[in-house]
């Protein structure tokens, strides 16, 4: 059994969904976690509210109360790739996240995630990711160091005042001449079935990406992708929409049967550059990985 080193956080909603206790809410909030597991966590003191007061079976639902709980899994896989700190100062830490490593705890990963690894490595317990990448995507992630300045940096993501550049490799037909061409994709993205798969739907566009082909070799091409919006799986879906799904994508164009990670075939998607105006210094911040994806 692996127990998370750090607690996960959850704020109870403003509107009560029709429950009397916190336990009832946790059971309906997490349908894939059995009621027995929540009973055991509460019994062992693994669920508490801000300030450390333990939650009991009878603790009443209080809107917007922040709950902390420790996740656990039977067998947590070890990810055999190493993260790297790219930049660090008193307010920010920028790190390279390898393929297959989660940013935050989730699913069968409680300690094998970038945030926990970096907290161990730096000793900064307040370190918190400001944004996310899919577990199977590699690239740059920005962390906030100090809680006092964190809201300023959260704001630049909320208002989309940040420019992110990705690279992707996709299969193409050898007779296609794509190098130097560009595409602007705008469409409406929503949940499909199962819900973790996204699809293009009718209606007003809520996603926007700019895509350009940098070079091609044989039946593969290297693309540069700039997401203007930040919908789940946006770039993966937009590349599929163009007819060039990203190499080694298990979700698009067709959801593949569940299988263990193949470390020899990572998703060929890389978060390569991040640029924004620092809200504290009013100076441009620019971070870039030197290495490109290779055709």
185-227 pLDDT, tens digit each: 999 999 999 989 999 999 999 999 999 999 999 999 999 999 9
Range of lowest pLDDT (62-76, 79-93, 160-174): 62-76
Beta carbons within 8 Å of 19's beta carbon, 6+ residues apart: 25, 28, 61
Calculate what percentage of the chain has a pLDDT beyond 90: 89
pLDDT at residue 280 in the model: 95
Q: Which residue has the tokens 């299988």?
A: 259
Q: Mind listing the pLDDT tens digit for each residue in 146-163?
A: 999 999 999 999 999 999
The pTM of the whole model exceeds 0.95: no
| In CATH, 164-270 is 3.40.50.1480 | no
Calculate what percentage of the chain has a pLDDT beyond 70: 100
Using 50, 70 and 90 to split pLDDT, how confident is the model at 57? very high
Computed on alpha carbons and rounded to an integer, the radius of gyration of the chain in Å comes to 21
Hey, which bits of 26-104 come out as E strands?
A: 47-49, 66-69, 72-73, 84-88, 92-97
| In CATH, 2-73 is 3.40.50.1820 | no
Question: What do you get for the CA distance between the two ends of the chain, in Å?
Answer: 41
Domain boundaries, the chain: 2-73, 84-159, 164-270
2-73 shares its CATH topology with 84-159: no
pLDDT at residue 128 in the model: 96
Using 50, 70 and 90 to split pLDDT, how confident is the model at 137? very high
Q: Is residue 1 scored above 80 in pLDDT? A: no
Distance CA 50, CA 9 (A): 10
Q: Is residue 32 scored above 90 in pLDDT? A: no
Hey, which bits of the chain come out as E strands?
A: 2-3, 8-11, 47-49, 66-69, 72-73, 84-88, 92-97, 128-129, 138-144, 162-171, 182-191, 198-201, 207-217, 220-227, 269-277, 284-288
For domain 84-159, which architecture applies? 2-Layer Sandwich (3.30)
What is residue 240's three-state secondary structure? helix
**Closest by alpha carbon to 88, among 295, 292, 285?**
285
pLDDT at residue 78 in the model: 95
Q: Mind listing the pLDDT tens digit for each residue in 83-130?
A: 999 999 999 999 999 999 999 988 889 899 999 999 999 999 999 999
């Amino acid at each position: 059994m692996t127990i998370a080193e750090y607690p996960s956080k959850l704020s109870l909603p403003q509107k009560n969904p029709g429950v009397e206790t916190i336990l009832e809410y946790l059971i309906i909030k997490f349908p894939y976690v059995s009621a027995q597991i929540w009973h055991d966590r509460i019994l062992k003191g693994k669920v508490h509210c801000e300030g450390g007061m333990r939650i009991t079976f009878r603790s009443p639902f209080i809107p917007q109360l922040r709950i902390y709980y420790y996740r656990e899994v039977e067998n947590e896989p070890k990810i055999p790739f190493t993260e790297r700190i790219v930049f660090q100062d008193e307010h920010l830490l920028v790190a390279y996240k390898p393929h297959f490593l989660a940013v935050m705890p989730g699913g069968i990963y409680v300690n094998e995630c970038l945030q926990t690894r970096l907290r161990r490595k730096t000793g900064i317990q307040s370190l918190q990711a400001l944004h996310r990448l899919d577990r199977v995507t590699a690239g740059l992630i920005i962390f906030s160091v100090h809680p006092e300045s964190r809201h300023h940096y959260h704001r630049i993501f909320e208002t989309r005042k940040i420019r992110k550049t990705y690279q992707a490799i996709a299969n193409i037909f050898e007779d296609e001449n794509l190098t130097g061409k560009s595409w602007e994709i705008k469409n409406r993205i929503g949940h499909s079935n199962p819900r973790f798969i996204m699809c293009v739907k009718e209606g007003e566009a809520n996603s926007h990406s700019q895509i350009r082909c940098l070079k091609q070799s044989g039946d593969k091409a290297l693309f540069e992708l700039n997401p203007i919006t930040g919908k789940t799986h946006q770039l993966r879906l937009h590349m599929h929409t163009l007819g060039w799904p990203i190499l080694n994508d298990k979700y698009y164009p067709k959801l593949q049967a569940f299988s263990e990670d193949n470390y020899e075939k990572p998703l060929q998607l890389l978060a390569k550059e991040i640029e924004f105006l620092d809200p504290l210094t009013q100076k441009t911040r620019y971070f870039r990985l030197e290495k490109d994806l290779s055709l």
